[in-house]
């Protein structure tokens, strides 16, 4: 089923998440590198992150599949009901096929359009906006949007890589969108941007040719490279501008939004945004202490936790916000 009436409403019909059982705490990192629990907590807000078990075959494919199964069950649907599956990740298992196609197979099959989408930590919000447009235009009826990452595989776990190894964790989150007769449901305003001139601040090189001039060193190949200070500055500025830009487009005040569901990159970045808009603590969700930065999985993991806790529900206005490598940044303000 791929056609329907134009400009239908879009319902958030189900969510799910998965994080691996394995955990790396700050104390574990203290044993591996020159760092301390206090330093990490104070600079990032992170206490622990989950790590996929390579021995047990955990990977983007398996984590995405489990999160997707849970989201479909929550929505009361199967993979055969889907028109499209979008998997946001920087960790596609292969260049071909897309991991999204293999998730479809794992879910039980069907002929939904399936694609991987790479926009780093903004990936799931990019995917959400694209999926919502497909549904509201009438092109598709039911779309599954997954964010799944296996970043612990690409971080250096010695002192020379301590900037990235303290930040990142593994996991997956997913949401099902369905067409709805109520046209007031769905996106009120959305924004998506990039600035390719900033790609050097955060990248995962595949070989020597990928490095900016003068940066190549053999040990860095295949591992995430990040200019933490530059990303931090970009993020603090962009985060606040993006929220304001989105509120202005919707002609809403921050106080009229019930929940801000933001990419979990650093507690200081989140708190700067909270202070800037005068938000009470319970309106800007924070779970970075337990998961670290799970990139494209971070926003849908927050969403699932909030829905399961009854803190995000039908009738509310919710804003999703993310930024990341590319550089990219994106928002999506919803009427649920
Ligand atoms: N443990 C202990 N000390 C550390 C450390 C660690 N893990 N990492 C850096 N340091 C030290 C540095 O050596 C430096 O010491 P010096 O002043 O003696 O030279 C000092 O702490 C400050 O280093 P700096 O890199 O400026 O730290 P920071 O305050 O910028 O924090 C990050 C580093 C990575 C936590 C921070 O820059 C950050 O979160 N950036 C954003 C990254 C991000 O969000 N990326 C994903 C985008 S989606």
Q: 330, 145 in Cβ contact below 8 A?
A: no
Percent of the chain with pLDDT over 70: 98
Of the CA atoms within 13 Å of residue 253, those in its CB half-sphere come to 4
What is the domain range of residue 182? Answer: 1-336
Query: Per-residue confidence at 264, pLDDT binned at 50, 70, 90?
Result: very high
Is 121 in the active site? yes
**How much is the average pLDDT of 10-16?**
98
The protein residue with its alpha carbon nearest to ligand 1, atom 1, reads 35
- Model confidence at 226: pLDDT above 70: yes
**How much is the average pLDDT of 9-29?**
97
Tens of pLDDT, residues 69-110: 999 999 999 999 999 999 999 999 999 999 999 999 999 999
Is 26 in the active site? no
Instruction: Return the SS3 of 23.
Output: strand
Report the pLDDT value the prediction gives residue 213, as an integer from 0 to 100. Answer: 94
Point out the ligand 1 atom lying closest to the alpha carbon of residue 268.
39
Contact partners, residue 241, CB within 8 Å, separation at least 6: none
Percent of the chain with pLDDT over 90: 94
Domain of 316, CATH number, reads 3.40.47.10
Phi and psi at residue 230, in whole multiples of 5°?
A: -65, -40
- Model confidence at 161: pLDDT above 80: no
**How much is the average pLDDT of 116-123?**
98
**What does pLDDT average to over the chain?**
95
Q: Is the CB of 229 under 6 A from ligand 1?
A: yes
User: How many domains are contained in the chain?
Assistant: 1
Tens of pLDDT, residues 24-57: 999 999 998 889 999 999 999 999 999 999 999 9
- Cα(110)–Cα(129) distance, rounded to whole angstroms? 23
The H-assigned helical ranges of the chain are 26-32, 37-44, 60-75, 99-107, 123-136, 162-165, 228-250, 267-276, 288-291, 298-308
Query: What pTM does this model have?
Result: 0.95
Q: Which of 121, 129, 262, 266 is catalytic?
A: 121
- Burial per residue of 158-186, b for 16 or more beta-carbon CB atoms within 10 angstroms, e otherwise: eeebbbbbbbbbbbbbbbbbbbbeeeebb
> What are the residues facing 9 on neighbouring strands?
180
**How much is the average pLDDT of 154-180?**
90
Q: 271, 292 in Cβ contact below 8 A?
A: no
Report the pLDDT value the prediction gives residue 270, as an integer from 0 to 100. Answer: 95
Closest CA to 262 of 230, 294, 233, 220: 294
**How much is the average pLDDT of 257-285?**
95
Segment (H or E) for 173: strand 170-180
The protein residue with its alpha carbon nearest to ligand 1, atom 7, reads 162
Query: Per-residue confidence at 6, pLDDT binned at 50, 70, 90?
Result: low
Closest CA to 299 of 286, 317, 308: 286
- Model confidence at 5: pLDDT above 70: no
């Amino acid at each position: 089923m791929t056609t329907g009436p134009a400009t239908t409403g879009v319902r958030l019909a189900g969510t799910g998440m998965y994080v691996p059982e394995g955990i790396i705490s700050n104390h574990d990192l203290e044993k591996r590198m020159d760092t301390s629990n206090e330093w990490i907590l104070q600079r990032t807000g992170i206490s622990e992150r989950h790590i996929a078990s390579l021995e047990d075959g955990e990977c983007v494919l398996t984590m995405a599949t489990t999160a997707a199964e849970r989201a479909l069950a929550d929505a009361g649907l199967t993979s055969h009901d889907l028109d499209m599956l979008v998997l946001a990740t920087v960790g596609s298992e292969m260049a071909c096929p897309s991991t999204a196609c293999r998730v479809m197979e794992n879910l039980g099959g069907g002929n939904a359009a399936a694609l991987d989408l790479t926009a780093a930590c903004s990936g799931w919000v990019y995917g959400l906006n694209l999926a919502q447009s497909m549904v509201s235009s009438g092109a598709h009826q039911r779309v599954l949007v997954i964010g799944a990452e296996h970043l612990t595989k690409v971080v250096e776990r010695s002192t020379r890589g301590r900037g990235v190894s303290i930040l990142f964790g593994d996991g997956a989150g997913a949401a099902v969108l369905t067409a709805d007769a109520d046209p007031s449901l769905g996106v009120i305003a959305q924004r998506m941007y990039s600035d390719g001139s900033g790609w050097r601040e955060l990248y995962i090189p595949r070989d020597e040719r990928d490095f900016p001039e003068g940066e190549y060193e053999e040990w860095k190949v295949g591992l995430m490279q990040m200019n933490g200070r530059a990303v931090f500055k970009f993020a603090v500025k962009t985060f606040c501008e993006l929220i304001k830009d989105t509120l202005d487009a919707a002609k809403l005040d921050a106080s009229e939004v019930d929940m801000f569901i933001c990419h979990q990159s650093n507690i200081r970045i989140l708190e700067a945004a909270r202070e800037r808009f005068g938000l009470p603590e319970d309106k800007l969700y924070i779970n970075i202490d337990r998961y670290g930065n799970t990139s494209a999985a971070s926003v849908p993991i927050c969403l699932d936790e909030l829905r399961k806790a009854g803190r995000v529900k039908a009738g509310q206005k919710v804003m999703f916000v993310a930024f990341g490598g590319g550089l990219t940044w994106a928002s999506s303000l919803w009427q649920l």
